[in-house]
Amino acid sequence: MNLLGAQSCIVIALGSILFLKREAKPILYHRFLKVTYMFSSDDLDKLEAKINSVEKDFAERISDTTIVGEEAITERLLQTLETSINGFELSYSASSPFVGTGGSSISKNTAKLQTSRIISPRIMGRSTVAKGANSEESISGADAVIVLESENPGIEAHKGFLFQAKKHSGNGAFRSIGTSEIRDQCRKMLKLTRSSYAIIYHNDGFCCFDCKDINNEKWSGFHKRKSISLAKVIRLFMMCQVGDRQLNAIDKTSFKSFLSSKKIDQGLVISAK
């Protein structure tokens, strides 16, 4: 098993604010010990495969009309994701290069501290309140919020993302969607966080799109060829490439506070004890 195969990692700088290490762009910490936790790629592959199987099951149920309607699909999907992911075990390895003073670069020599199994960060989700002129959905543009919570020893992370869901109503294969409604909802979500997605439910599965795509002046809609799977989004979520640490709880009080807070780009920041 390749324990260092994950392309992204959780970084803890003792005595410092915690940021994420970008690929090939190490962050420098002056006079601090940096501890890097990297999840096993093999385990992330298994988790992604598990979510893909959930998606396949949902596609079949949408196709045979066992489950219908965007709200019903979203509610059942959130419940199933929680059941599938929570309790899943991940391997991680930890290493700790020392950082020099005065902005010197991080040493290439890293000491492997430990390899262990931990319970996967917990996934929680709920649909937003849709009714009313000042409802959660009308303000945020989101149909649902998903939050990741990890309280494993030495690793604490609370972050989330928003998504707007649409059910593809055509009988044929999904190719694209570009209504003004979904564009406006994406704009609302992006005003709150860069961690915003549009998810299309259809008979062949789910297609996910990064809402930031609408900022492209040539955007003409969300096209299937540019979609990513829901499993990939969750994988990136686990790898700390997706998520806003200000969106750290799903209860109504916390979400109301999030909606009223000043937007700060927290797309690559998590918290630590």
pLDDT tens per residue across span 111-131: 444 556 666 678 899 999 988
How many residues are there in the chain?
273
pLDDT of residue 192: 95
Q: Is the pLDDT of residue 270 over 70?
A: no
Rounded CA separation 57/52 (Å) = 9
Q: Is the pLDDT of residue 143 over 50?
A: yes
Q: What is the mean pLDDT of the chain?
A: 74
Would you place residue 154 in the very low, low, confident or very high pLDDT band (cuts 50, 70, 90)? Answer: low
Nearest 5°: phi and psi at 134? -115, 35
Contact indicator for 109, 130 with CB cutoff of 8 Å: no
Written in H, E and C, the secondary structure of 54-79 is: HHHHHHHHHHCCCCCCHHHHHHHHHH
Does residue 138 sit in helix, strand or coil? helix
What are the tens digits of pLDDT across the range 233-242? 988 888 778 8
Contact indicator for 192, 160 with CB cutoff of 8 Å: no
What are the tens digits of pLDDT across the range 193-215? 999 999 988 877 788 999 999 99
CA angle 55, 150, 243 (to 5 degrees): 60
Which helix (H) or strand (E) is 237 found in, with range? Answer: helix 230-238
For residue 206, CA distances in Å to 31, 145, 223 come to: 46, 17, 12
> Of the ranges 45-54, 58-67, 188-197, 204-213, which one carries the lowest mean pLDDT score?
58-67
From start to end of the chain, where are the E strands? 10-13, 34-39, 89-95, 112-119, 122-127, 144-152, 155-167, 176-177, 196-202, 205-210, 222-223
Q: Is the pLDDT of residue 89 over 90?
A: no
pLDDT of residue 117: 66
More confident residue, 138 or 157: 138
R_g (Cα) of the chain, nearest Å = 19
> Of the ranges 105-119, 179-193, 202-216, 242-256, which one carries the lowest mean pLDDT score?
105-119
Q: How far, in whole angstroms, is CA 162 from its chain's centroid?
A: 9
pLDDT of residue 170: 66
Q: Is the pLDDT of residue 86 over 80?
A: yes
More confident residue, 6 or 257: 257
What is the amino acid identity at position 7? Q
Would you place residue 266 in the very low, low, confident or very high pLDDT band (cuts 50, 70, 90)? Answer: very low
CA angle 213, 200, 232 (to 5 degrees): 70
Q: Is the pLDDT of residue 1 over 60?
A: no
Would you place residue 8 in the very low, low, confident or very high pLDDT band (cuts 50, 70, 90)? Answer: very low
Q: Is the pLDDT of residue 265 over 70?
A: no
Rounded CA separation 163/243 (Å) = 12
CATH of 42-87+120-260, one of 1.10.10, 3.40.1350, 3.40.210, 3.40.50: 3.40.1350
Q: Which residue is it, tokens 């004890």?
A: 273
Looking at the whole model, is its pTM more than 0.85?
Answer: no
